[in-house]
Structure 1
Amino acid sequence: MNNELERVFGVFLLNEMQLALPLQALREVTPCLGLREYPSAARGIIGAIDLRGALIPVLDLRRVLGLSTPELPAQSVVIMAHEGQLIGLLAHGVQGVFQPEGRDFQPVSAQTGQLHLLAGSFQRRDVEALVSVLDPAALSRLPDLPMVLPAETAAGGGEGRAAELSYVMLMRCGGVPLAMPSDAVFTTILTPNIDRDSALASGFCLGVLEHAGSSIPAVDLYRMLGLNSQLRHANQQAFLVQFPAGLVAFLVDEINDVVPTYDLSLAPIPAHSFAQQRYLAGVLDSRQLPEHNTSAQTRALGYYLMLDVAALQAAADLQGLGRMNMRSEGEIGLAGSRQQRPTCQMLTYDLCAEVGTPIEQIVEILPWQHQEQMMGGGDYAGGLVVHRGRAIATYSLAQVLGLEPPTLTPTASVLVVECGDTLIGFGVARLMSIDEAEWPPQDGHAFDSGHQRLHANPQAQNWKSVMAGQGSQTRLLSVLDLRELAEQLMAR
């Protein structure tokens, strides 16, 4: 990734992980409106979507990486293109396009011929989150992965028309039909529960609603737009939009549909038609859209008012509400984040339980396979990995801790730490996530039996515990100081 153009990324969510693709590999994002059955031997293929006449397989990366698969509503499918072929990646939300500074991007070294799905990572300065960058070439090499040609290529056509395709979300608010680009929607909530007793309730902010363990300001979109106050509206559903400092929920009567269109030409709105016309981009003729779900009243009107997403996100009062995201315990800040205590980024991996190490301790992550090690003797299956001309003493972390030798997975890696002038590698069978964790660690937490087995090991007497993750993914995590462990091994 030396070309600066390759340092522009489209970021999306999977569970609460932030993943990214280089922009040149991100063909488009389409709503996940239902999957068709798709026979495939590839691990992680959960079905397929119809993309303009081409059946595109959809890959759930959680199953490839061995991660948990909670029943979260899939919002989108990210279409990845590599060497003229397509594959869909399941996503739970789209974050936008980012171009990190050079110092924020950290490449991941991978040995030739070995499967390693990450090209690197970068820090998002807007929300202080770490984004894992996927390697399209490595993804395309997953065993039996069915990548397909786009319909227009298979038919001998060009790709000009595909570039014009966009998706819009259609909704109704007090009888007024509204629309907005679907890629600006973080997620939708079909049955929002509004706490109207919140201190934020004022003007067009009705209070807060709960989402993923956080209280998010809820805006009456109808009132904010200054529409006819005589029309009744019910605020029965909501959609969330990401602002620079946090999320804001917009309440509407009904979300009708998400539809594709090749023609988003908008008619101008006459001046002084609405009190807050700055939030409206124009009028969308419903005849530009394919058949879609809507009410009889909306069909009779024959148009939608298109929201101007850029104007919404630039509004100072809405940005201020975005800063008022609160965890359920009452901490103000980004949704699901911890603002009252220092935090650090934690790389987690699988031993007999989920274990984390501060990512600042790890200077390199290399693919790990037994046959690539020049195995030596010793108590802990020590060996060598040669990387960039340096020999790295490498140990199986599970065996160092007295655990059974692990079964390797596609994310098996060697975590390299510095011990003075020496590099020490610890092999782990499965990487799990990169998560924000409270720091410094706290003692006194109760652990399950898997964690207790770890803590009883004489090779690692200084276990600590932290609360890691965000929202519904918050959990108690054992922390292992790999630098300290490396010093113990060097002293033997």
Structure 2
Amino acid sequence: MTPPEPAGPAATSRLYGLLQVAGITLAMATAAIREVVPRPAQLLPFPITRPDLAGAIAVRGAIIPVIDMGLMLGLAPACVHDGIVAIVRHQGGVTGLLLDCIEGIARLPESALGALHYPDDAPLHRLAAAGFLHGDTRGVVLDTAQLAAMPGLPLVPDSLAGQRQEHRLGHGAGDKVTCLVFRAGGQRLALDAHAIVATLPESALAPPPVTNALWVGSLAWNGVAVPAVDTLRLAGIGSLGRTPGRSAAVVIHVGPADSAAGTRARAALLIDGVDDIRQLPRHAGAALGAIGIAGTGGAHALVDLGGQPVLHLSATAITGDPRLAEVAAMQVPVAPEDTDGHQRLRGLPAATGTTSTANAWLTFRLGEARYALPLGAVEAVLPGDQPLLPLAGQFPLSAVFLHRDRPTPVLDLAARLGCSRTATVDEAIMVVVGMAGQRRAFLVDMLCSVERVPLQALRTQATSRQLPAATIRCRANETWEVLDSAALGLAGEATPPADIACLTA
């Protein structure tokens, strides 16, 4: 697992493009990659002879030699079909590297790099600056200077170098930014590389623990289940229109760094695949909002890339989107286990007796809202028209009634949760929850079922009612929020009795 990123300016890391050939992942500094283009069906001839020369390619009016990187490294040749050519630059010269695919962008701290040892006559002995480990990806960092110095390597003048120099003299050196270009839902998008943590190949997408239009699943990365979102919906330009069982993704930083831990929240943007690494204008001529595009989509800019429109996403708008921050906070950690191996939510009682109810839940409705309680905490289910003694000024408690010859406080649960109870008192159902000899009761509109399914515990930092602290997913594939002590209005009592103490522990 990659160690946490240090906070502040002391953090030393570099952006690398991740390229693959013959099953090996090669990392190359993004500053050395001018662009990445698809391999044409037929390469052009080039007037030199060397065993790893694949031919040449015409890019922006220039003929650039193409070296088969697999053969250069003494490995298998690069893919004949569906390959890519990375145009690599060094000191005013460029050459093309024939590779299998582009995996994306990664920010590698120095702690992720390690020494490599190859025989002196191995090509990687000269070309490998270091090995790296980034999440589940292992590979080799290429030294661009050593690559350019390889005997007989053909380099041609970079036709864009003069344009870049002229641009720098006229507008300053900071007018370009390295971007990852990718596809999502048939759209071509670009995002500034500084916002990207990693790119993930196609992998299994676990269903989300809540029903939410933006959050469509979770992807495993670096030992964490990273919330994955609908990229087009986040960008405000539509929706992917599907919930894929597998997907590639771009993992990004979300919100400010945690000053105590030195880390930042992360989320995964679902994509179809990576296309390119490009330098794009830092300040676009006009965002879509200038032509009347409303909402989130108005912050992004349309740019021309090789004659094709690409939506350059505003990194500030994406990473600072409060909806994304809310989702990114909802990590799904591995919950602690009871002795019988069932997951538990903090604040809910353990099951007792010989029949385990740790993963058994009573589900009910309040209006349109769906909720669940641990079955082991439910002591009784009664008609709603119990004789009550009203309590004034004791919110969230509304009344007291006698149950089994003991006074039991009645909680106004609907008001506490901000929803509406639609059933009349005669139609409603009274649920009595008993813990450690104490009781609480509340009215619900209807009981639905008893579900025996695993608890989906979420991080307690979440505050949104749309993204609860824990849920279950029932057999009908519906999501039910599991109520904890805070939801029941018990967490704020000054001196809670023993039963409430067990809820708030």
TM-score bracket, shorter-length normalisation? 0.3 to 0.5
TM-score, normalised by the number of residues in structure 1? 0.42
Structure with max Cα Rg: 2
